[in-house]
C-alpha cells in the first residue's frame, strides 16, 4: 500500500465527472487500499478517487466503525434532514454547516464487482452524500447553508 497525494480545491480535476468502473482488476484493489491508507493518514472519514487524481467512481469511508469501499455508488433512498458541520480533505481548514439527508441508503459494488448495500444515518449519511458528490465534481461547499 502507498500514500497518494491529495488534490486541493482549485485543481480542475475536482470539478470533473468521474467514469463508471467497468474493470474490477488488481489495480482497482490497489487504488482502494491506497485510498484507505491515505484517508487514515489524513485523519479523514471519507475520500473519493478524484481527490487523488483518479477520475473513477470509487470512494472509501470509515467513520470509526469499519472500512466501507464504494465502487459505482448510487443513493437509492434518503429521508429526513440534518444540519451539521462538514469539511473536506481537499479544502483544509474550511468548514461549514451543510443541509443533508439524515438517512441514506446506497447501492454500490465492492472491488470484486459484487453488489453491496449500505445504510447510514447522521455522520455516515453525510459521508455517503459528500463522497458521491465528489464523483460528480461537486464539493461540499455547494451544500453550505450557514
Chain centroid offset of residue 88 CA: 10
Annotation marks residue 9 as catalytic: no
Nearer to Co ion, 74 or 114 (CB): 74
- Cell numbers that stand for 146 in this block: 450557514
Catalytic residue of the set 9, 22, 37, 131: 131
Nearer to Co ion, 28 or 89 (CB): 89
Put the strands of the sheet holding 115-121 in their side by side order: 46-48, 58-61, 68-79, 103-109, 115-121
Q: Closest separation between CB of residue 106 and Co ion, Å?
A: 16
Please tell me the count of residues contacting Co ion according to CB under 5 A: 1
Q: Closest separation between CB of residue 35 and Co ion, Å?
A: 12
Q: Closest separation between CB of residue 99 and Co ion, Å?
A: 16
Query: Whole-angstrom Cα distance, residue 70 to residue 118?
Result: 10
CA distances from 93 to 16, 18, 89, 90 (A): 23, 25, 9, 9
Q: Say how many C-beta atoms besides its own lie within 10 A of residue 146's C-beta.
A: 8
For the segment 61-80, give every residue that binds Co ion (CB under 5 A).
Answer: none
For the segment 79-108, give every residue that binds Co ion (CB under 5 A).
Answer: 88
Chain residue whose CB lies nearest Co ion? 88
Chain centroid offset of residue 113 CA: 18
The residues annotated as belonging to the active site are: 131
Residues within the interface to Co ion (CB under 5 A): 88
Amino acid at each position: 500500500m502507498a500514500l497518494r497525494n491529495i488534490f486541493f480545491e482549485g485543481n480542475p480535476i475536482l470539478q470533473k465527472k468521474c467514469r463508471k468502473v467497468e474493470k474490477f482488476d488488481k489495480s482497482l484493489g490497489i487504488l482502494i487500499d491506497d485510498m484507505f491508507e491515505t484517508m487514515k493518514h489524513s485523519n479523514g472519514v471519507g475520500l473519493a478517487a478524484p481527490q487523488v487524481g483518479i477520475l473513477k467512481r470509487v470512494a472509501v469511508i470509515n467513520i470509526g466503525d469499519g472500512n466501507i469501499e464504494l465502487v459505482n455508488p448510487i443513493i437509492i433512498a434518503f429521508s429526513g434532514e440534518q444540519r451539521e458541520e462538514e469539511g473536506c480533505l481537499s479544502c483544509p481548514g474550511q468548514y461549514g454547516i451543510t443541509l443533508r439527508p439524515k438517512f441514506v441508503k446506497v447501492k454500490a459494488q465492492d472491488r470484486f464487482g459484487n453488489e453491496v448495500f449500505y445504510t447510514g444515518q447522521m455522520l455516515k449519511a453525510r459521508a455517503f452524500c459528500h463522497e458521491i458528490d465528489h464523483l460528480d465534481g461537486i464539493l461540499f461547499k455547494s451544500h453550505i447553508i450557514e
